[in-house]
Structure 1
Amino acid sequence: MSPPHFDPVLDARLDTVLGLIRADVHADIGSDHAHLPIRLLREGRARRGVVVELNPGPLAHARRNIARAGLEDRLEVRAGNGFAPLHPGEVDSASLTGMGSATMTGILSRAAEKLPPALVLQPNDSPLALRQWARASGYHLSAERLASGYWTYPALRLERAGGADPAYADLPLAPALRYGPHLLREGSALLRRQIWADVVRLMPLAAPGRPAWAELDTARQALAFLEERQ
């Protein structure tokens, strides 16, 4: 009897990312263990995939898991940094997860013509820089989610489109960039807890002219917006 195929279980963070992806060919950049692309193919959310990993240890780990899953014919593993191992137009969607926003923004900025029409990003810190990058780079924010874990994890789906992003219409810009336009409109309990935690953290640090002062003002604007919608 042949051994059962490897079928990884995703944590809440990656499961949230999974729900934002649907593509013909998807690339997972910095994939580590390749759990996400394996689940994408298992659930029919992608037909084929490319796994990109820079470091030798995780690269070998990804190859082993894909072999255990019996998906070597549909999931290709490539060694390299960011989008460098991809060809322009090769994939129609890509994900970056578990990195800082600054690292992600650098990877995206260097990708140039290799950027696909859709991106799903899950930073481990504030996604403010990613939302700013999207607005400056011809991507609209089509969906956002929050996942609970060690801290609150945001996940963003971006789609290439022309003109101003309608997601930000009729919203105060600073809070929308910091906390997310779709998330502000949804006003979930998880988001409210995140904003209150920011207020509590920033109040002892805030003074006129300090960065924390502007951050605290943004958090208070977000709370005021949510209170008006109750």
Structure 2
Amino acid sequence: MHRTVPSLDARLSAVLALVQARCHADIGSDHAHLPLRLLQLGRIERGIIVELNPGPLAHARRNVARAGLGARLEVRAGNGLAPLAPGEVESVSITGMGAQTMLGILTREPLRVPPALVLQPNDSAEPLRRWAWAHGYRLRQEALVAGHWAYPVLRLESRDGPDPVYDGLPLDVALRYGPHLLRRRDALLWQQVQADVRRLTPLAAPGRPAQADLNLAQTALDFLETL
């Protein structure tokens, strides 16, 4: 009988909700709770855990063994997507890292990037949205999750043609703040945009970088306040 995996926090629960695949890889999994829960809840049929550091790698292997799911969840040592064969998985999750670190993982192994990605950066998601826009990935879903700060969670899917979710929105504003979040006037996004306007206003002046950032934040706030 499989042991129950500890429940996920709100951040990883939001990631879990955006994963659905036959074979899925979790990169930098640490304790392996996310892929274990994905298996137990039937959101994936098979999983691969990739972990670079020896301590978390051993931790993941212990937790998989204790859960009795070693036949369906493989733990591999390695860096980023390198331990995966091209086309081996349908989707990948990467969580708890900076957006630039995630971009490094995606760009180092372009042939191993799967059709679906679920990404949870610990900072602005703008670089990931821009990468997706430029590389044929559509932003299918996104969320902000309350925690130590507002965590963005994105689901990207490879599709031909431009992403229609940006239609009718100021592109730079939507790439900065998230088109789905803007359209549904997400409460956490509203707080974030208001905080940006307050923070940037005393710093802005013509020709300063802060002025361009303030213009984006003010445009986003105007959109959110439009009924």
Q: TM-score, normalised by structure 2?
A: 0.97
The 2-side partners of 1:216 and 1:120 are apart by 29
Match of 2:192 among 183, 191, 194: 194
Q: How does 1:64-143 map to 2 (within 5 A)?
A: 64-143=62-141
Match of 2:166 among 161, 168, 175: 168
The 1-side partners of 2:65 and 2:210 are apart by 49
SS at match of 1:145: strand
**Cα offset, 1:113, TM superposition:** 1.0
The 1-side partners of 2:133 and 2:56 are apart by 32
Percent identical: 65
The 2-side partners of 1:207 and 1:106 are apart by 34
The 1-side partners of 2:57 and 2:209 are apart by 39
1:5 aligns with 2:3: yes
The 2-side partners of 1:145 and 1:29 are apart by 20
Aligned to 1:153: 151
Aligned to 2:50: 52
Aligned to 1:32: 30
Alignment gaps of 5+ in structure 1: none
**Cα offset, 1:199, TM superposition:** 1.2
Match of 1:180 among 157, 178, 181: 178
Alignment gaps of 5+ in structure 2: none
Letter in 2 for 1:172: P
The 2-side partners of 1:218 and 1:117 are apart by 31
Where does structure 1 differ by over 4 angstroms across 4 or more consecutive aligned residues? none
Question: Does the 8 Å contact 1:100/1:124 carry over to 2?
Answer: yes
Letter in 2 for 1:46: I
Q: TM-score, normalised by structure 1?
A: 0.96
The 2-side partners of 1:147 and 1:90 are apart by 30
Match of 2:13 among 3, 15, 21: 15
SS at match of 1:5: coil
For each residue in 1:84-109, what CA deviation from the matched residue of structure 2 results, as whole angstroms up to 9, or x when unmatched? 00001100000100000110011111
Moved more, 199-208 or 115-124: 199-208
Match of 2:219 among 218, 221, 227: 221
Aligned to 2:39: 41
**Cα offset, 1:204, TM superposition:** 2.3
Question: Does the 8 Å contact 1:6/1:65 carry over to 2?
Answer: no
Kindly report the root-mean-square deviation, in angstroms, between the aligned alpha carbons of the 2 structures: 1.1
**Cα offset, 1:13, TM superposition:** 0.5
